[in-house]
Amino acid sequence: MSNDALIAVKPEIAAHALVNAERFRAMTEAAARDPEGFWKQEASRIAWITPPTKIKNVDFNGDVAIRWYEDGVLNASVSCLDRHLATKGDQVAILWEGDNPNSDARVTYKDLHAKVCRLANALRKLGVKKGDRVCIYLPMIVEAAVAMLACARVGAIHSIVFGGFSPDSLASRIQDSACSVLITADEGRRGGRTVPLKANADDALATCPSISHVIVVKNTGGQVAMQAGRDHWYEAITTGEPAECPPEPMGAEDPLFILYTSGSTGKPKGVLHTTGGYMVWASYTHELVFDYRPGEIYWCTADVGWVTGHTYIVYGPLANGATTLMFEGVPNYPSVSRFWEVVDKHQVNIFYTAPTAIRALMRDGEAPVKKANRKSLRILGSVGEPINPEAWLWYYRTVGDERCPIVDTWWQTETGGILISPLPGAIAQKPGSATLPLPGVKPALVDAEGKILEGVAEGNLVLLDSWPGQMRTIYGDHARFGQTYFSTFKGMYFTGDGARRDADGYYWITGRVDDVINVSGHRMGTAEIESALVAHPKVAEAAVVGMPHELKGQGIYCYVTLKTGEEPTEALRKELVAWVRKEIGPIASPDAIQWAPGLPKTRSGKIMRRILRKIAANETDSLGDTSTLADPAVVEELVANRVG
Ligand code: PRX
């Protein structure tokens, strides 16, 4: 299929959609004509204690200041809970599906409100107050959402660390934002196995003096050590607390959460989101992009440890009074039909997953999908990495029976929510394209000098103006915020992605143009993996690049130079893979390690990554200009001994 093949909006979908083509045009025009008026109007989708009168106050230049709704006062948990109690108190808020197909749970808005208030009261008793940082290291259990909302309730800033991260990764995140409380569980469950969360946490806490209390959810019942005075069972400290808790009044620009994400240099950055704008964005995008209707069952398969889980499992759906399905397990356990069995079991209407899962399931053919009925499905979504047209078409035809529009949603941890995506009732789709910006979003493509490219073009993807859900700073390092996102192209937010725009104005994201790689939709900084490798006593130098990978999108390819006298053995290769898993976590496992007696460097000593990427991708006949190499023989050696 050519890139430009359009799949038109079906008339029956347009007829009932919240936003059809006409409304989309009208909204886009309104947002362009009177942004303040448009975003003032949209602010009314969430609950305010004091509605804002100042809407936007943004400067992408100088020190970079981004403020939305700055005189508004609210509490995010009220938008997600209290305001639904009168009309939806008995509706299921969280539909939980366990790793084990025989375990599930239904938590109504009333139940969720009570659970959140109990934990919020317990947090206050432990001394947690507005602005304090609370780290959450939990599996995909209801308590993860409860913990987020309880932090929001008392005005604490949550920082969730994905349960697959190592003790070291957990420790560095806790240290960076000096969290005072950690909420974790005895163990997690995934694909029939357990994950030793409390044991990992204990390792991490050896170097985290800021933590004074640990709250532990008894999840599997596995044996764990409890440190008297510091560790408390969740059950024990929440039972007996009142099911009401006064929400902390928060300024719209008071922080809601920090979420660490990888960049092209240095250690992970604490992306900071604030309350008002983020909540408006979560609600706006969840409703528009998924065409969400009251009563529908909505399922996002992400983990709450990533931004997708924050915005599209918890804050967006709950702000919109949805029933959000939370899944503890994995796509292939107990069988590769699991996703579709869950769809049938809970009559899921909207399903949102990652291309890597689709590609993995595609390998097993149609039968495991077709076994399930899937008639409840109405909309399918994709997120996290470019979706190749083959996977898109399989998703559309095999999973959606050509009935369900696909929303390929482009966004980032930094953007808080979706920025570019088709709206199912308004925009014709093209397999592999995220299509058009949402009303109010202003993307552009620029060349290397920052010149804006018009019409059909390929270049660096930037945003010319702010939107309410934009990150506000890097926690504790505002200078790095400006440097990372606003210095490459003056006065513009630089995404780090490349994209092309076709004759219909559709965007096709081509992937990162910086030293960030996207492994199964998980963002990894090559610098982080390199520093893990060089921390090994036998490694002298390392360079890490992405390589094309059939399932993961990108795999991790490492060039390793050993210290003089060290032998490059198979045992050492295995040891290094295990070392990186231990240092960062299993998601950073190298896919290939090549022994490199030398690395290609310029005469000034800069590693030429462009060449390393080409070798990893096996594109060795197009290495490009190698004339600036200090020692061309290094490249010949690497090409000859390429692995894979
Ligand atoms: O390269 C883009 C890719 O994922 C990056 C953001 O990663 P992260 O902050 O971890 O957030 C992932 C969930 C939003 C982007 O810079 N990306 C995300 N969605 C898409 C995508 N690339 C292409 N198409 C998408 N739909």
CB-ligand 1 contact for 418 (6 Å cutoff): no
**Is any atom of ligand 1 closer than 6 Å to the C-beta of 552?**
no
User: Does any ligand 1 atom lie closer than 6 A to the CB of residue 261?
Assistant: yes
Q: Cβ(269) to ligand 1 under 6 A? A: no
Is the preceding omega at residue 334 within 30 degrees of 0, hence cis? yes
605 is in an annotated binding site: no
How far, in Å, CA of 211 to CA of 177, rounded?
11
Tokens standing for residue 431? 């397999």
Interface ipTM: 0.99
Q: Known binder of ligand: residue 579?
A: no
Nearest CA to ligand 1 atom 14: 412
* CB of 463 sitting under 6 A from ligand 1: no
Distance 314 CA to ligand 1 centre (A): 19
For 209-264, the pLDDT digits (tens) are 999 999 999 999 999 999 999 999 999 999 999 999 999 999 999 999 999 999 88
Write out the two tokens for 487. 């210095």
Ligand 1 centroid – CA 439 distance (Å): 19
**pLDDT tens string 160-174:** 999 999 999 999 999
List of long-range contacts for 105-109, beta carbons under 8 Å, 24+ apart? 105/142, 107/142, 109/81, 109/84, 109/85, 109/321
Ligand 1 pocket residue status of 554, Cβ below 6 Å? no
Query: What is the 412 CA–ligand 1 centroid distance (Å)?
Result: 5
Tens-place pLDDT, residues 309-359 = 999 999 999 999 999 999 999 999 999 999 999 999 999 999 999 999 999
Q: Determine the residue of 261, 383, 385 to mutate for testing ligand 1's pocket, defined as the one with the most ligand atoms within 8 A of the Cβ atom.
A: 385
C-alpha 408 – ligand 1 centre gap (Å): 10
- Per-residue model confidence (pLDDT) at position 2: 47
Atom of ligand 1 nearest to the CA of 418: 14
* Per-residue tokens: 424: 């199912």
pLDDT tens-digit readout, 387-413: 999 999 999 999 999 999 999 999 999
pLDDT of residue 623: 87
Burial 388-412 (b: 16+ CB within 10 A, else e): bbebbbbbbebbbeebbbbbbbbbb
Whose Cα sits closest to atom 25 in ligand 1? 410
> Given the CA of residue 306, which atom of ligand 1 is nearest to it?
10
What residues contact residue 62 under an 8 Å CB cut-off, 6+ apart? none
Does the annotation flag 631 for ligand binding?
Answer: no
Tell me, in angstroms, the distance from the centre of ligand 1 to residue 373's CA.
Answer: 30
The mean pLDDT value for 479-503 works out to 97
**Pocket residue to mutate for ligand 1, from 165, 260, 509, most atoms within 8 A of Cβ:** 509
Per-residue CA distances from 193 to 96, 443, 561 (Å): 18, 43, 35
- Return the best residue to mutate from 272, 460, 497 for the ligand 1 pocket (most ligand atoms within 8 A of CB): 497
Residue 4: predicted pLDDT: 58
Could you tell me if the CB of 497 is within 6 A of ligand 1? Answer: yes
Q: How far is the CA of 114 from the centre of ligand 1 (A)?
A: 35
Of 411, 421, 436, 554, which is best to mutate to test ligand 1, by the most ligand atoms within 8 angstroms of its C-beta? 411
If DSSP codes are grouped into helix, strand and coil, which group holds residue 409? strand
Task: For residues 507 and 504, give the distance between their C-alpha atoms in angstroms, rounded to a whole number.
Answer: 9
Distances (CA, A) of 208 to 156, 259, 393, 525: 18, 18, 48, 24
Strands (E), 287-341: 297-300, 323-327
534 labeled part of a ligand binding site: yes
Q: What are the b/e assignments for 113-144, b being 16+ CB within 10 Å?
A: bbbbbbbbbbbbebebeeebbbbbbbbbbbbb
Can you tell me the distance from the alpha carbon of 296 to that of 320, in angstroms, rounded to the nearest whole number?
11
Compute the average pLDDT of residues 576-596. 96
**pLDDT of 261-309, one tens digit each?**
998 877 899 999 999 999 999 999 999 999 999 999 999 999 999 999 9
- pTM of the predicted model, to two decimals? 0.96
Residue pair 232/216 in contact by the 8 Å Cβ criterion: yes
SS (H, E, C) 551-593: CCEEEEEEEEEECCCCCCCHHHHHHHHHHHHHHCCHHHCCCEE
- Say yes or no: CB of residue 303 within 6 Å of ligand 1: no
Answer yes or no: is 200 a known binding residue. no
